[in-house]
Amino acid sequence: MSNITIIGTGNMGTAIAKILTDGGATVESISHSDEPTSFAGDIVILAVPYTALPEITDKYRSQLAGKTVVDITNTVDFATFTPVEFDAGSGAADLAAKLPESTVLKAFNTNLAPTLATKTVGDRTTTVIIAGDDADAKAQLSAALTAGGVNAVDAGPLARARELEAVGYLQMGLVINGQMNWTDALGIIK
């Protein structure tokens, strides 16, 4: 069974923790403000706003070494509602560059929190889209998620985080402009 730490206890962190616990994973939930000194999980999910990532990478680089680190952020400047540009191509690639001894995955950023909390979008099961360069790490997260009652889809290498972040931004705009609800999804329909 997976041993997973979730940093962040907001809507996203809480909903992700529930799914993983339902699937039998051992989940350690830590508030971003708890100032932890170590993480029990082999997988550490950073369920925080992207603005909190620099502090986390500075403070916990060594504690995150050797672990799978999952970036769920939407890299949007909420003051101007414009996407943040990264020389690395995406927020996740930027994070990976700052955590060279960790295996970074992008996941959950295309899921609105209510669809993770209920595990459904309308009458469909919620699908989590994952990108990353390490097949084993993706398979481990996928297995933990499917055990918890949602679908998981592999979008390919971490370079695809750029497109996943675009989906997240587009989706937020559609919700804000009333074209979608928070309980809907810009996701895979079969």
Which residues contribute to the site for a second copy (CB under 8 A)? Answer: 83, 121-122, 124, 153-156, 160, 162-164, 166-167, 169-170, 173-174, 177, 179-181, 184-190
Residues 6+ apart with CB under 8 A from 89: 159, 161, 162
Token pair 């970074």 is found at: 104
Least distance from a second copy to the Cβ atom of residue 22, Å: 22
Closer residue to a second copy, CB minimum distance, 52 or 167: 167
CA-wise closest residue to 54 among 86, 79, 16: 86
For residue 55, the one-letter residue type is: E
Least distance from a second copy to the Cβ atom of residue 21, Å: 25
Closer residue to a second copy, CB minimum distance, 121 or 150: 121
Half-sphere exposure for 135 (CA within 13 Å, toward CB): 0
Structure tokens at 108: 């959950």
Closer residue to a second copy, CB minimum distance, 87 or 190: 190
Q: Is there a contact between 23 and 146 (Cβ–Cβ < 8 Å)?
A: yes
Closer residue to a second copy, CB minimum distance, 65 or 182: 182
Least distance from a second copy to the Cβ atom of residue 64, Å: 27
Least distance from a second copy to the Cβ atom of residue 183, Å: 8
| Alpha carbon distance 125, 108 (integer Å) | 14
